[in-house]
Structure 1
Amino acid sequence: MTEVTLFLREYAKTRRDVGAIAPSSARLCRALTRYMIPNPGRSRAVLEVGPGTGAVTRYITGSLGRLDTLDLIEANPRFAALLRHTYDGDPRLRIRTGLIQEHDLGSYDTIVCGLPFANFDARTTEEIFDRLLRSLRPGGTLSFFGYIGGDTIRRTLVDGAERERTLVGLGVLRRILHRHTFRTETVLGNLPPARVHHLAPVNPPAHPESAHSCDCRETSP
């Protein structure tokens, strides 16, 4: 079974948990790994949460040094099995199955997250971001994405208690972004178009070129 076939099958079965409707494009992968900056002086520790079939993982492993490490946490056991098969024998990778809330985290230089936060309630969103941000080393970054227009579509499709749950969850997400975001990129070359948010756990941000959020459109191929 191909990665795309597996992805589409799992999306049809568990779309609330998968979130995405297609594997991440090359442009989205580049944006998500923007702050995986090489450091010849020491090893780097990277965490990817929700790698799915591994589209972004390939970009991460492509820039890993011999002494760098990559932890993958994937809730879907079929996706996790695919990742284990793909990276069997690579000592730099550790693949764990389950929710991020179920695992003890280390400390990381870079965290890349593919979780569908628009589908989560407020408490889950707060808990996950708190754990991720507290797991960053000084100067570390957390990058994740959301689809353009996704919030509006989700508010339109639900009503009653589910709509209230969605609105509260999105409000929490906006507050987290306002507090921690140092850069936002718009990636049009993805299905659907997406925004990538780069976060840091401290103020002022770790990267001086981004003292405020920006809307940076990636146009390179």
Structure 2
Amino acid sequence: MTLFFREFARTRRDTGAIAPSSPLLARALTRYVIPSPGHSRAVLEVGPGTGAVTRHIRASLGPLDTLDLVEANPRFAALLHRDYGDDARIRLLTGLVQEHELGAYDTIVCGLPFANFDAATVEDIFGRLLAALRPGGTLSFFAYAGVPPLRRAFTTGAAREQTLAVQAVLGRALERHRFRSETVLGNLPPARVHHLAPVAPLLAYAG
């Protein structure tokens, strides 16, 4: 927890949360990481941070399953390596998700602070993640409940334009691909979890 607060204060653009995800939020985000005995599943977590959600994913992994973790913060990455480096099913990729050649996944869980990015970056990341899903795969991410209207109300100038552009990108993605949303009150602050699936097979993302 101390490391998380320190990194939030130091790099708040990349560490968008003020506290690790609660168990309730972690369970909502991993709702579609469903055990499938006898079949191998590939799971991707983007922005695992200190591993609050990773622990829930790992608990549902079978012996044939794999989990890729993509973490840009080197201090968080070192912590994840310490905790999960001895698990052959788990691969840690350091750096931005845009810097990696992603595989094909059954489930993607994303903890990135999209509200902190510009619209082009958000659109790029969504395109990559949705294109990395296998047929029938799901992408789950969250946003803090009530924050979008606050950002619109209390930002001006270029910051407001960026906020509106990012929210437009998120809105289009949700309108096209969302099949379920749920509110998690037991988190600091409360969060809204969105579950997406490609509406049609997508071509490999070309950037």
User: TM (normalized to structure 1)?
Assistant: 0.89
1:116 has 2:104 as partner? no
Aligned twin of 2:163: 166
Which residue number in structure 2 is paired with residue 9 of structure 1? 6
- The residue type paired with residue 132 of structure 1 is L
- Tell me whether 1:94 sits opposite 2:91 in the alignment: yes
Alpha-carbon distance in structure 2 between the residues aligned to 1:170 and 1:119: 11
Give the structure 2 partner of residue 153 of structure 1: 150
CA distance in 2, matches of 1:157, 1:117: 18
Corresponding position of 1:79 = 76
Matches of 1:194 and 1:84, distance apart in 2: 28
Instruction: Name stretches of at least 5 consecutive residues in structure 2 with no aligned partner.
Output: 201-207
2:178 to 178, 181, 185: 181
- What's the offset of the Cα at 1:124? 0.7
Partner of 1:51: 48
Pairwise CA distance, 1:65: 0.4
Matched residue, 2:23: 26
What is the aligned partner in structure 2 of residue 210 from structure 1? none
Q: Deviations over 1:61-113 (max 9, x none)?
A: 00100110000000100000000001121100000111100000000000000
Aligned to 1:192: 189
Alpha-carbon distance between aligned partners in 2 of 1:88 and 1:96, rounded to the nearest angstrom: 11
Question: How big is the alpha-carbon RMSD for the aligned residues of Structure 1 and Structure 2?
Answer: 1.2
Q: Alignment identity in percent? A: 72
**Aligned-pair CA distance for 1:155:** 2.4
What TM-score results when the alignment is normalised by the length of structure 2? Answer: 0.94
Unaligned runs of at least 5 residues, structure 1 = 204-221
* Count of residues paired in the alignment: 201
1:49, distance to aligned residue in structure 2 (A): 0.1
User: What amino acid maps onto 2:168 in structure 1?
Assistant: G
Once structures 1 and 2 are overlaid, which stretch shifts more, 10-19 or 150-159?
150-159
